[in-house]
């Protein structure tokens, strides 16, 4: 009887006990900044890359089947992302050592994130602005209020 009970527990689908993981990732983002000035031909606007300290929030639901990333305003591009701060994660891949996912900000900007489950290091890669983000993630407890 004990063996049958043990086998039943092993075969029981544990998806009803789905868990979530919320992360706060602090680090350095590489973004564009505009510098205005006047030259001999009139006004000039130069776009430069600059590195800024910032914080990302990442939310995984239903045992990593769904997720989203929340970008701070300084990492949201003026086209296709300036009014929206949370983006759905796609192609979430999870193994013992890392979590990988993609998301779409706009038609041209489809960044990829890789998070080490061992060190907490996050790497964010994009082909357009915001260019990159490198930082460290820690568990973000949404149930605890700061005040």
Say how many C-beta atoms besides its own lie within 10 A of residue 132's C-beta: 17
Instruction: Assign 3-class secondary structure to 97-118.
Output: CEEEEEECCCCCCCCEEEEECC
Confidence of residue 145 (pLDDT cuts 50, 70, 90): confident
Residue 112: its pLDDT value, please? 97
Closest CA to 120 of 102, 103, 139: 139
Cα–Cα separations (whole angstroms), residue 113 to 14, 29, 99, 101, 121: 28, 13, 8, 5, 10
The pTM score is 0.76
Averaged pLDDT, 53-77: 93
Residue 6: its pLDDT value, please? 41
CB 79 within 8 A of CB 90: no
CB 80 within 8 A of CB 106: yes
Does 102 score more than 80 pLDDT?
A: yes
Residue 16: its pLDDT value, please? 39
Q: What is the C-alpha radius of gyration for the chain, rounded to an integer number of angstroms?
A: 20
Say how many C-beta atoms besides its own lie within 10 A of residue 140's C-beta: 15
Residue 45 CA to residue 36 CA, distance in Å, equals: 4
The per-residue pLDDT for range 7-29, each reduced to its tens digit, is 444 444 343 344 899 999 999 99
SS3 call for 25: strand
The per-residue pLDDT for range 68-79, each reduced to its tens digit, is 999 998 888 777
């Amino acid at each position: 009887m004990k063996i049958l009970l043990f086998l039943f527990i092993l075969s029981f689908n544990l998806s009803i006990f789905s868990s979530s993981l919320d992360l706060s990732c602090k680090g350095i983002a590489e973004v564009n900044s505009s510098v205005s000035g006047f030259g001999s031909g009139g006004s000039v606007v130069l776009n430069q890359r600059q590195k800024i300290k910032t914080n990302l929030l990442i939310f995984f639901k239903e045992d990593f089947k769904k997720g989203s990333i929340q970008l701070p305003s300084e990492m949201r591009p003026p086209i296709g992302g300036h009014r929206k701060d949370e983006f759905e994660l796609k192609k979430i891949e999870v193994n013992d050592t890392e979590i990988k996912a993609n998301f779409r900000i706009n038609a041209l900007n489809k960044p990829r994130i890789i998070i080490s489950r061992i060190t907490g290091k996050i790497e964010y890669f994009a082909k357009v602005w915001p260019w990159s983000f490198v930082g460290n993630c820690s568990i973000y407890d949404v149930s605890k209020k700061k005040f």
